[in-house]
Amino acid sequence: MPKPRVVLVFGGRSSEHEISCATAAGVLEAIDRERYEVVPIGITRDGAFTLQPDDAARYRMDPAAMPRVDDNGTRVLWPDSAASRELRVIETAADGASAIRSLGEIDLAFPILHGPWGEDGTIQGLFELLGLPYVGSGVLASASAMDKDATKKLLLAAGVDVAPWRALSRGAWAAGRAAIEADIRALGLPVFVKPARAGSSVGVTKVADWGALDAALEVAWAEDRVALVEAAMTGREIECGVLSGRDGGAPRVSLPGEIVMRSREFYDYAAKYLDPDAAELVCPAELPEGRLEEMRATAARAFDAIGATGLARVDFFLTADGFVVNEINTMPGFTPISMFPRCWAASGLDYPALITELIELGLAARR
């Protein structure tokens, strides 16, 4: 029986391009080659779909030279209708002549894209149009989780606590600053200003003085047209992984992990990827009696509230009053040292087995 052929899609147009490439390195290295064939498709910064070498070493994380998808001149052609699963590639020879070569039929897309144009429902829409099974949440859940304002509204409706916030565009700020600023100041200092649709803490600023608010908003608006101003939460930063249940079962929630800051003010992009001494990821994290069950129940409720499928990472603040959800990531960081796979490894599902589980969930969900 032929092995299922998995298209691994990585890179992309967002500011998290390099993180997606690093995730690709981990998956390429760990995926079970006895069970699956892999076709690596890298999306360049300009959005070109290219056929890339099946070589994990090209994309490993290096803070001194972050990995990226180089445009090698190839162009991947997706199936031309939902009646086909054939993937093709245009290749150009040294003399300038081009030819189309078949890559054969594919069974599943595994998008490991972070941020807009990948994690936000856009590429999921492409796969839906093609009738191609894929790993992870569908269009609506992906789009909802990508938009922090929408996520908060959905979670509140489901009875899940979130940090108080105000969402605003540049136009709204210019037209009604006095009233909006009064609402924002009511949140108290400090506040966090962040883009509504971005990840990996890109564009996030901690504001401890109202005089710095305008500059922080500009940083956020550079990433997205809507910015969130969010009240700071006092408490431990706890994260956990969620997987869909098998055969319609309830979501499965991992043991918790904790982010313990060592040298930076908060868990920003540099702390996550560039400064190994900035923070410690503790997994499993110790929780007081009863809190583990509370966390798991809240994570599952949040997962269901946005209609997630496949996988997600739910990020909490554990305050004196209980858990407050910070955000949900439907395609979380997935390098071998990222919190999502570490939480599942601590729960008994190692990295290669986790990749297999996600592929099998993707195939089963859309049969």
DSSP letters, 294-362, are HHHHHHHHHHHHTT--SEEEEEEEEETTEEEEEEEESS---STTSHHHHHHHHTT--HHHHHHHHHHHH
pLDDT at 288: 87
Which residue ranges make up each domain of the chain? 5-134, 144-161+234-365, 165-231
Q: What are the start-end ranges of the E strands in 52-174? A: 75-77, 86-92, 98-105, 108-111, 165-169
The topology under which CATH files domain 165-231 is Dna Ligase; domain 1 (3.30.1490)
> What CATH number has the domain spanning 144-161+234-365?
3.30.470.20
pLDDT at 332: 92
- Ranges of residues in the chain whose predicted pLDDT is under 50: 268, 271
pLDDT at 271: 47
pLDDT at 76: 98
> What CATH number has the domain spanning 5-134?
3.40.50.20
pLDDT at 306: 97
* DSSP three-state, residue 166: strand
> 107: closest CA among 37, 155, 33?
37
d(CA 278, CA 263): 5
Query: Do the domains 165-231 and 5-134 match in fold?
Result: no
Indicate the pairing of strand 165-169 with strand 226-231: antiparallel
pLDDT at 247: 87
CA 75 to chain centre: 25
